[in-house]
Every structure is written in C-alpha cells, then in structure tokens.
Amino acid sequence: MEKRGTFGSKLAIVLTTAGSAVGLGNIWRFPFMTGQNGGAAFILIYLGCVFLLGIPGMISEFIVGRHSQSNAARAYGNLGYKNGRLIGYLGILTSTIILGFYAVVAGWCLQYLYASIAGHLNGDTTYIVEYFKSFSSDPIRPCLWGVGFVVITHFVVAQGVEKGIERASKLLMPLLMIILIILVIASCLLPGAGKGIDFLLKPDFSKVSGSVFLEALGQAFFSLSLGTACLCTYASYFKKETNLLKSATQIALLDSGIAIMAGLMIFPAAFSVGVQPDSGPSLIFITLPNVFRQAFESMPIVGFIISILFYALLVFAALTSTISMHEIGTAFFHEELHWARSKAAWILTIVCATITIFCSLSVGAYSNLQLFGMPLMDFCDFLTAQIMLPAGAFFTSILLGWFVEQRLLINEFTNNGALKATFFKAYLFSVKFIVPLCILLIFLHQFNLI
C-alpha cells in the first residue's frame, strides 16, 4: 500500500490550513458584509462567532480527520457509526459544488490580474463599468478563465500533499501577507483615509439586528472552511503530535486577522475617494478599479502597481482555497476507488470545470440557466453556503457531541494524554449544545420560521 502523505512541520500545518481558510471569503465577502452590517459592530459579532462556535467546530473536524488519517467519507465512517459516512459524502459533494462556482469568481480575478498588467483597466467610471459588463456577458472568455483556474488547481493537487499542496501554500501564503501589508499601508496613507479606519473600528450598534448575527455566523463558517469536510481532510495529514486546540486557535486568529486587514485595505481607500464599500460582487471588479484610479490620480504608476498587487492577492488567496476544495474529492476517489492520484484529480477537475462553465454562463451570456428562480451560480451559492455547509457542521457536532465515545474525543484532544485537557469540557459543551443550537437558529431564520 502506498504511503500516505503528511504535512512536514507545524508551520506547514498552519500555512496550508490557513491557506484553505483565507480566500475570497476574507478579502472580498468580509469587507462588503462589514460595510452593509454596521462596521465594527459586525466585526465584534463575527469574532464572537469565530471563537465561540468556529474553533469548537474546527476542532471537531480535526478530530475526525486525524483520528482515522483517511479521506472524509472513511474518516466519518470510522467513528463507530456506519451512517457517519454520509456526513463525509455530504462534505465531498458540498466542496465540489463550491469549487465549481468559486472558480468563476476566481477566474474573473485572474482575468483582472491579466488586464491590470496589460493596462486594460485605465479609463473613467463608464469605461470600467462597460469593461466588466462586456467581459462577464461574453459566452466564452469568463468560461475559459474559470476553467483555467480549475486546471491550475488541478496541477497543484495532482502533485500530492507535500510536493503540491504544502509547497504551494508555503510560497503563496507569505506572498499574500506581504502584498496585503503593502496595500494596507498604501491605503491608510491616503488623504481622508481616517474616516474608513473609524468606520472599521468604531462600532455602530444601531444596525445590529437578529439577521446580522446570522449573517456573521454564516460568514464565519464559510471563512473558516467549516462544514465541507475540508478541515477533516487536511487534518488527516496532521501528525499525531499536532496540538489540535492550538492549531485551530492559530488558524482562526490568522483568518480573522487577514479579514480585518482586508477591511483596512479597502475601507480607507474607498472612503478617501467618497465611495461606500458596501456593494456586492461588483465591489472588486467595478468599485475598486475606480478607487485605485481616483486615489492615485496624480501617481498613475503607483495606481498601476497597486492594482496588479491587489488582483495577485485575490488570485493567491483563491488558489490556496480551491486547492483545499479539490483535495477533498481527489483524496476520496484516490483512496476509496483506488484510482491513481492523477486520474482521481482529473475526474474531479472535469466535474468541477463543467459546473464552472454552467455557473459562468448563468451569470453571463445565458441568464435563462436558472434553478428555483435563481441563476445557477446563485443557486449553487445558496444551496452550499446556506444549506449544505451548515448541515455538515450541524451533523458533525451532533455525531461527536452525542454519539461518538468520549474517550476517542479526549484522546485526540490531548494527543493520548500528552497534553492537558483544560479546555476539553468547554469544547464538549459547545459541541453538544451551543454549535448545533446556533446552526439550527440559522436554518429556521433562513426559511423565515423565526
């Protein structure tokens, strides 16, 4: 039997797993959600969700993956309950669909990186709006960029755990952090940037309602890659000595820190030219190119470099996330169906690329590609983020909190007694009661039942 890969060091574990967590969710979705939901007030609630619910949820997936050191379906099936396997299947399906539509936006980022380098984004507001419209409604170009992104992801994953995933994360994550720091400094130095910083740091509780809590919770789960079996798959490559609580806390801190820095990059720049950064998808493709142009009007070369760095940042962040989504299904096909890793990866790439093409067309040239009254892309987003992902996290909590033998949990939590069990009781309480209850609340709210 072929030897299974593991991540080489503690740093590799944090960088690869944080690479999965840090993505478009942090750099694009978090800032505009903060913009729409009361600035710092939203951030405080978001951080509450990350620490109270996100970290216990992450530890649960880590326990499942590291315990059996196998793909998600087998890992969930190995906990003493055969039906647990179903949660693994759900995760594999969820991550495959997410990869399909996530690659559409990632492909747009790649095209905008190319356009920035080629100098195609120079023009006034009308030009930038038209540029986005003509690109996104083209039947071929967005599909090609999206599929291209899935294929790039494929080549990293097909290389294997150490040579592909670990190496890419070790290169891309530090680059991402350096670019982010440069952009935060450039943005905060702009005249009038203080208003954006104030918005981000001074809470306005008047905008906080029940739905803001639920939005924050959904965002926290998506951002931490929870509920998709991704963390479970990555944890299957952790070492027996890895401290699960410490790793979950480090990754959550890094993920939240990067999201807040993304806010510090976007808000000061946007406020300095008088733009409200609360638009949805158009934020990164229409609002920000305009912001860069106006903010650096007197120094076009700086604007040019900033624009390239910004889209490179998005591409790197998206790539480390798509790699993790791809690995979930690849590991499953490889280990369960005994296909060679490269064949397993190709099958998954073909499935995902097909979803990418249909999703891309549904928000572009063929807007009649709809399901339940939504463009296919929005439907996939809704189905995964609002239903499948919370369902995965919910069933994981119920399985671990109520069914799996506590001995197994404590052994994994403490590395078979090598670490202190100080926080174990708090973890168990959260997994038994708090996490499932909060997810249930999101569900009921989603369907207007509360």
Positions touching ligand PFF (CB under 6 A) are: 20-21, 23-26, 95, 98, 222-223, 225, 228, 230, 321, 324-325
Work out how close the CB of 23 gets to ligand PFF at its nearest, in angstroms, rounded to a whole number: 2
Tokens of 296: 């650096």
Task: Calculate the alpha carbon distances from 411 to 63, 84, 393 in Å.
Answer: 9, 19, 21
Tokens of 153: 């992801």
Contact in structure between 237 and 70 (CB atoms under 8 Å): no
Q: Which residues contact 422 (CB under 8 A, 6 or more apart)?
A: none
Contact in structure between 228 and 146 (CB atoms under 8 Å): no
- Label residue 211 exposed, middle or buried (CB < 10 Å: 0-12, 13-18, 19+): exposed
Work out how close the CB of 142 gets to ligand PFF at its nearest, in angstroms, rounded to a whole number: 19
| Cβ proximity to ligand PFF, 37 vs 228, nearer residue | 228
| Cβ proximity to ligand PFF, 326 vs 334, nearer residue | 326
DSSP E strands, 13-151: none
Tokens of 359: 């999703």
Work out how close the CB of 25 gets to ligand PFF at its nearest, in angstroms, rounded to a whole number: 2
Work out how close the CB of 390 gets to ligand PFF at its nearest, in angstroms, rounded to a whole number: 12
Tokens of 121: 């984004």
| Cβ proximity to ligand PFF, 37 vs 225, nearer residue | 225
Gap between the Cα atoms of 19 and 243, Å rounded: 18
Contact in structure between 226 and 58 (CB atoms under 8 Å): yes
| Cβ proximity to ligand PFF, 47 vs 186, nearer residue | 47
Contact in structure between 385 and 222 (CB atoms under 8 Å): yes
Q: Which residues contact 141 (CB under 8 A, 6 or more apart)?
A: 111, 135
Bridge partner residues of 35 (DSSP): none
- Label residue 167 exposed, middle or buried (CB < 10 Å: 0-12, 13-18, 19+): middle
Work out how close the CB of 32 gets to ligand PFF at its nearest, in angstroms, rounded to a whole number: 13
Q: At what angle do helices 125-136 and 141-158 cross, to 10 degrees?
A: 70
Work out how close the CB of 191 gets to ligand PFF at its nearest, in angstroms, rounded to a whole number: 32
Tokens of 386: 């609002």
Tokens of 201: 């740091």
| Cβ proximity to ligand PFF, 95 vs 356, nearer residue | 95
Work out how close the CB of 36 gets to ligand PFF at its nearest, in angstroms, rounded to a whole number: 17
Q: Which residues contact 407 (CB under 8 A, 6 or more apart)?
A: none
Gap between the Cα atoms of 240 and 257, Å rounded: 28
| Cβ proximity to ligand PFF, 101 vs 132, nearer residue | 101
Work out how close the CB of 326 gets to ligand PFF at its nearest, in angstroms, rounded to a whole number: 10
Work out how close the CB of 419 gets to ligand PFF at its nearest, in angstroms, rounded to a whole number: 27
Contact in structure between 234 and 327 (CB atoms under 8 Å): yes
Work out how close the CB of 20 gets to ligand PFF at its nearest, in angstroms, rounded to a whole number: 5
Contact in structure between 171 and 22 (CB atoms under 8 Å): no
| Cβ proximity to ligand PFF, 187 vs 223, nearer residue | 223
| Cβ proximity to ligand PFF, 225 vs 349, nearer residue | 225
| Cβ proximity to ligand PFF, 123 vs 281, nearer residue | 281
| Cβ proximity to ligand PFF, 203 vs 281, nearer residue | 281
